[in-house]
A and B are shown apart, each in its own frame.
Chain A
């Protein structure tokens, strides 16, 4: 599971990260500034713990949700009235001071079995790469490079974000990018009834 902890108080954020690691979380990323938060948005975390006092917290949550619908956000607040804008964004709230068990429950809730989805992401990654290698290794490298530089993602992440793949293909190949998309659709035709591949293929058709 990939978690980001966003807050302005370095000592508290660092301690919270250590605590999460002690609970067995593999990848924990501390974010202290708005600049780092902008980079963090593109990094497809599974879960983001956000201090409500972080500047422009609402905008940050909007940005995270726009870039990756699957990222869950847990807003840590002091209780009292919860921000209505944040409530509408389908975030979880964790009120200070919280118990370890509350935190464990949140981690368990969002740590769904992902192995099956990961297999599909790997399949999509292989199909995309093979379609590009059919043109040339240079094409595969260029597309992969642009995906990473522009969106911070790899071929496997295109399952969640087919629009990234479409944009990069159009940038490089123009209308001829449709050839590669058709190749990908053909190779995934056997899986067209399975989610999330069905959604991926539907977006490619748009």
Chain B
């Protein structure tokens, strides 16, 4: 069995797979029923995942404070999830309450700001592993993201009018591409067996958003995107992976009392 297969089949990761499958099934079934159901279901699934994500991130922040690299990382991760949670709620309110197309809207400012908080989170979260990360890997990651971002910018500006919507789309694309840098590094650490899959899930989540945003970019260009579109599945998966990563950290480092003095956590690696 490959390392990936072992990681996927371990007991805790089975819950992750069930969560991802559940999200996909809900959105696909809702799409089968109708677009309105797809929109409503996706918004509610998003709320159901992001609300506990914010709550548990807050709990970890309170527990760890700002001490240590992980402590500082969780400050920025909490800021990131709060900003994106607010963005999701603005989107939801526009769509369900006001029945207005939420693209573009104030939600985008929160999504944009969230990216920068995420980058700082990545820096602190990866810092303890800096000696395991060869400089050549960092150079490749930076080179790749700069080259890809440049290609996107060139293509978008040469083929489209520099309208507000196109520039906003382009900004998302560039920020997503920059996110690929730390994602790439974390995946290398995982495949070298140096970190667990659950640790990596905080980066895999962002990878899902990157793919979803690329899909969103193409769908908005021909106006075929709607909330609940199957391209939203990777969006929801992204939040799902974040939730799994946060819960995993919380479970391993939970506050101990006489009743939870020690339990068998060997499967949590």
0 or 1 for each of A86-120: is its CB under 8 Å from B? (1 = yes):
00000000000000000000000000000000000
Q: Is A194 an interface residue (CB 8 A)?
A: no
Q: Among A62-70, A145-153, A158-166, which stretch is in contact with chain B?
A: A145-153
CB-based contact B70/A135 at 8 Å? yes
Residues of A within 8 A of B35 (CB): none
CB within 8 A of B68: which of A133, A142, A171, A173? A133
Is residue A136 contacting chain B, with contact meaning CB distance below 8 A?
Answer: yes
Q: List, in ascending order, chain A residues with CB within 8 A of B68's CB.
A: 133-137, 139
Write the B226-269 contact mask toward A (1 if CB under 8 angstroms, else 0).
00000000000000000000000000110110000110011001
- Flag whether A82 is at the interface (Cβ < 8 A): no
Instruction: Choose the segment among B92-100, B128-136, B165-173, B211-219 that binds chain A (4+ C-beta atoms closer than 8 Å).
Output: B128-136
- Residues from chain A with a CB closer than 8 A to the CB of B196 are 174, 176
Q: B194 interface residue, CB < 8 Å from A? A: yes
Q: How far is the CA of A147 from the CA of B131 in the complex (A)?
A: 26
Determine if A141 and B70 form an interchain contact, defined as CB atoms under 8 angstroms apart.
Answer: no
Residue A81 interfacial (CB < 8 Å): no
> Can you list 18 A-B contacts with CB-CB less than 8 angstroms, sorted by A residue number?
A136-B64, A136-B74, A137-B68, A138-B60, A138-B70, A142-B253, A145-B261, A149-B261, A149-B262, A171-B265, A174-B193, A174-B195, A174-B269, A175-B194, A176-B194, A178-B132, A179-B131, A179-B132
Query: How far is B252's CA from A178's CA once the two chains are assembled, in angstroms?
Result: 18
Q: B65 an interface residue at 8 Å Cβ cutoff?
A: yes
CA distance A134 to B131 in the complex (A): 15
How many whole Å from B253's CB to the nearest CB in chain A? 4
A179-B70 in contact given A137-B65, A138-B63 (Cβ < 8 Å): no
Q: Is A172 touching B262 in the complex (CB atoms < 8 A)?
A: no
Set of chain B residues within 8 Å of A137, measured between Cβ atoms: 63-65, 67-68, 71
Q: Which residue of chain A lies nearest to B73 when distances are taken between CB atoms in the complex?
A: A136
| CB-defined contacts of B60 to chain A, threshold 8 Å | 138
Does A146 contact B262, Cβ atoms closer than 8 Å?
yes
Chain B residue with Cβ nearest A137: B67
A residues in contact (CB < 8 Å) with B:
133-139, 141-142, 145-146, 149-150, 171-176, 178-179, 182
* Assembly CA distance A175 to B199 (angstroms): 12
**Does B106 reach chain A (CB closer than 8 Å)?**
no
Closest chain B residue to A175 by CB distance? Answer: B194
List B62-114 residues whose CB lies under 8 Å from chain A. Answer: 63-65, 67-71, 74
Query: CB-CB < 8 A to B131: which residues of A?
Result: 179, 182
Q: Contact at B65–A179, with CB atoms within 8 Å?
A: no
Closest beta carbon of chain B to A166's beta carbon, Å: 15
Whether the pair B129, A141 counts as a contact (CB closer than 8 A) is no
Contact B252 A142 (CB under 8 A): yes
Contact residue among B129, B194, B253, B256 (Cβ-Cβ distance under 8 Å from A136): B253
Query: Nearest-CB distance from A151 to chain B (Å)?
Result: 11
Other than the given A171-B265, A176-B195, A179-B128, 15 more pairs (CB < 8 A) read A134-B128, A135-B68, A136-B64, A136-B68, A138-B63, A138-B70, A139-B70, A141-B253, A142-B253, A145-B256, A150-B262, A173-B269, A175-B194, A178-B194, A179-B131
- CB <8 Å contact, B193 and A175: yes
B71 contact from A136, A141, A175, Cβ within 8 A: A136
Q: Kindly provide the distance from the CB of A161 to the nearest chain B CB, expressed in whole angstroms.
A: 18
Residues on the A chain within 8 Å of B195, using CB: 174-176
- A109 and B68 CA atoms in complex are apart in Å by 45
Chain B: minimal CB distance from A136 (Å): 4
Q: In the complex, how many angstroms separate the beta carbon of A164 from the nearest chain B beta carbon?
A: 14
Q: Which of B64, B69, B253 has the most CB of A within 10 A?
A: B253
A62 CA to B60 CA, complexed, in Å: 44
- Contacting pair B252 A172 (CB below 8 A): yes
Residues on the B chain within 8 Å of A175, using CB:
193-195
Which residue of the partner chain, among B67, B193, B261, contacts A133 with CB atoms under 8 Å? B67
B86, chain A: closest CB distance, angstroms: 26
By a CB distance below 8 angstroms, the chain B residues around A178 are 132, 194
Ranked nearest first, the 9 interchain pairs of A and B with the lowest CB-CB distance are A138-B253, A136-B70, A136-B68, A149-B262, A174-B269, A136-B64, A175-B194, A136-B71, A135-B68
Report the minimal beta-carbon distance from B194 to chain A, rounded to whole angstroms: 5
Least distance between B260 CB and chain A CB atoms (Å): 10
